[in-house]
Amino acid sequence: MKACMFPGQGAQRIGMGEGLFSRFQEEVSQADDILGYSITALVQDGPMEKLSQTEYTQPALYVVNSLKYLSYLAEGETPPDILLGHSVSEYVALFASGVLDFAAGLRLVAKRGALMAEARGGGMAAVLGLEAAAIEELLKEKAIADIFPANFNTPKQTVLSGRRETIVEAEQMFLEAGASHYKVLPVSGAFHTPFMNEARDRFAEFAADVPFGTQQVPVISNVTARPHVDGRIRERMIEQITSPVRWSESLRYLMARGVAFSDTVELGPDGPPVVRPMFKRTELEADPLDAAEHAAEEAVTEGDEPATTDAPAASPERPARMNGAASNFGRFSMEKLGSRPFCDRFGARYPYVSGAMYQGIASADLVIRMARSGLLGFFGAAGLPTAEIRAAIARIKAAIPQEAPFGVNFIAHVNRPYLEDELTDVLLDEGVTVAEASAFMEVTPALVRYRAKGLKRESGAVRASNRIIAKISRPDVAAQFLAPAPERVVASLLASGAITGEEAALLREVPMADAICVESDSGGHTDQGMPFALIPPVLGLRDEAEARFASFGPIFVGAGGGIGTAEAAAAVLVLGADFIVTGSINQCTVEAGTSDAVKDLLEGINVYDTAYAPSGEMFELGSKVQVLKKGVFFPARAEKLVGLYRQHDSLDGIDAKLKAQIEERYFRRSFDEVFADVAKSYPASEIERAGRMPKHRMALVFKRYFKDTTNWALAGDMNYKVDFQIHCGPAQGAFNQSALGREFPSWRQRHADEIGLALLEQTADLLNRRLSVMMG
């Protein structure tokens, strides 16, 4: 089996391609017309300073490598069985495969090079002698947020990319960690990292009109280290600008296919080979990919993917939106789970989200950890004062790369709408562009104002800078977020001057949310829904909304609640979820903003160790929350208080003996002392009302128990351990009992990003095994 490989940036040299330009004059003439200068003069005469500039290097390498391939075939050599190109030269491989014609490939490369050349302040460095896992662990350990692995060239040769100052300063750190060599490269951009998101987005617009054909020879993708899938090639090449080049894994894939060093051919500039020695080094330093993984890869049939040159149009049947998965069985990887367009919309590496947990349990540290791994996390702003929310946002923004994903929870306040307005002001002031809308029964003015700000018209379509993921547990609420903002709300905001006339007009052309998260039985507030019943109708509503807002782009449906294992994640993805949201399992991690005592309790629970208890926020309405019951009395005591509230009209009506027991065991002080404390924090109108209405006084006193039990748990006050109120769903117990839990036996070993990535990896593996069995 023969493989042809094409070297990328760094292989350029003056005089490369000598003899090729005169043989392939038609292609050279096309190149001159497209580039607007003589490619022959640039390559043959230089100067080297110009040839080494990204906007010139990339098209020059594309032309020389492509002509080299044409020469290779013209000389009667055996055509390759597989193709791969390093970084920019992946376009050469696509040309060789017939996916792109020569001119189309050059136009794409010229645009790519020009956009990447605009990047400033970035840098790259080659690190030798350390394995990729050790490098990534060191970056995490040192909390370095602005350096990323960009090229995994061999098992012990990695190129880092990021902010130039940090790249230069990191040399000593890597040498002390055992690197044998550290060389800063002469580039000005942080290529193949999130720092290139703007270039990627602009390139995507350019590439939208370029036709991509089907592969005549398989091409290995830099992004996935697996063969490209026809119909998704454009998407992968756009993603390639910000994704690391997985060259070493690509070579190990070839090794698993039976390709040896002697079967490889490097086609590029004359001189010392560049990528072929990487194959030899990889053979020495690593084994082929796992045999089981390779066998599953070989099971892929040619009919697995659409053969169309563009992405398939939406249809009522909605073929599976999981990347690379169609109606027949194909190999799943982490990159193929969920929706890649979702990742692009929210700037995430994978379609995995850590949901917000109130009062900062979803802490700034947790969000930072997620963002540094390219994962979207939401800060738990609910229940926190405005100043604390502002401080947390500032801390998150200072600790992560500028384009790294993060968001803030936007919780509904039915009785205190001014809190929604305050949060909207904070989000707009601080430039937070992603919000998780939760507990909404209807769309409110504050949320509409947040959506309105940042709406703009681009190429005839309306785009939303402020993106919303709405968590819902009922299809009728989902329908509100899949529609434009309510006209009465828009009119009211316009009349008050809160939004402009242009913003009001744009609001009518977009749905209120970019994505819907279907929240099933979960920790905290829950309607105890089942994903198998909830997700299908919401998918139907989404399809109708996409047709209505065709120019807006895809609208996404995700799933949350009960997801703590690969089996649960796989189930909702097969149902059609574009992304998954986890909650409970992130509360039992190092970064979670709760006490060690709570984490110790959660670490040992099983799926049957939770219960439904009354909600303190909606005490009078009988709303329920799901909480931990193992080792605590809170669920039973909360039910007791609600029962007493329903049975009596005042605190004085409670039996004296029972009243004394509750004061002593629940509050550890008298009801009068509790009310005196309550009076300090409630508005005067509420206290005056309590003086007139004994039942309202009773409600305020009993509600204080719910507030105290939360605060005792967050603080880890062991004097009140039996009263801890800990919102948690059975997903935590399932996680503890699963293979994932055995991989992370103690919460002190659990980090939110690491368990997320491990969950995705196990989900992909599970789908491969299950579908392989089903397909015989």
Catalytic residue IDs = 87, 192
Give CA separation, 285 vs 102, 131, 157, 720, in Å.
Answer: 36, 10, 11, 56
Query: How many C-beta atoms surround the C-beta of residue 397 within 10 A?
Result: 17
CB-based burial of residue 61 (10 Å sphere; 0-12 exposed, 13-18 middle, 19+ buried)? buried
Nearest to 59 by CA among 45, 44, 39: 39
Query: How many C-beta atoms surround the C-beta of residue 340 within 10 A?
Result: 23
CB-based burial of residue 540 (10 Å sphere; 0-12 exposed, 13-18 middle, 19+ buried)? middle
Report, in this order, helix, strand and coil percent for the chain, each rounded to 5.
Answer: 50, 15, 40
Distance of CA 589 to the CA centre of its chain: 19
Tokens of 138: 């060191």
Backbone phi, psi, residue 477, to 5°: -75, -40
Q: Provide the terminal-to-terminal Cα distance of the chain, rounded to the nearest Å.
A: 27
Give CA separation, 434 vs 250, 437, 454, 584, 728, in Å.
Answer: 35, 10, 12, 21, 25
DSSP string covering 101-156, please? -HHHHHHHHHHHHHHHHT--SEEEEEEESS-HHHHHHHHHHTT--SEEEEEEEETT
| Cα distance between residue 645 and residue 726, in whole Å | 22
Give CA separation, 493 vs 194, 425, 455, 497, in Å.
Answer: 36, 14, 15, 6
| Cα distance between residue 607 and residue 629, in whole Å | 11
What is the per-residue burial (b if ≥16 Cβ within 10 Å, else e) of 170-197?
A: beeebeebebeebeeeebbbbbbbbbbb
Backbone phi, psi, residue 149, to 5°: -65, 130
Torsion of CA 435, 437, 443, 449, to 10 degrees: -20
| Cα distance between residue 298 and residue 256, in whole Å | 10
| Cα distance between residue 750 and residue 762, in whole Å | 16
Tokens 């990447």 locate to: 116
Query: What residues have CB less than 8 Å from 656, skipping those under 6 apart?
Result: none
> DSSP alpha helices (H): ranges in 523-583?
531-548, 566-575
**Whether the Cβ atoms of residue 334 and residue 764 lie closer than 8 Å to each other:** yes
Query: How many C-beta atoms surround the C-beta of residue 54 within 10 A?
Result: 21
**Whether the Cβ atoms of residue 78 and residue 271 lie closer than 8 Å to each other:** no
| Torsion sign (Cα): 130, 132, 135, 141 | negative
Tokens 């681009």 locate to: 458
Amino acid identity for residue 435 in this structure: A
Tokens 């390093």 locate to: 86
Query: What residues have CB less than 8 Å from 760, skipping those under 6 apart?
Result: 334, 337, 350, 352, 569
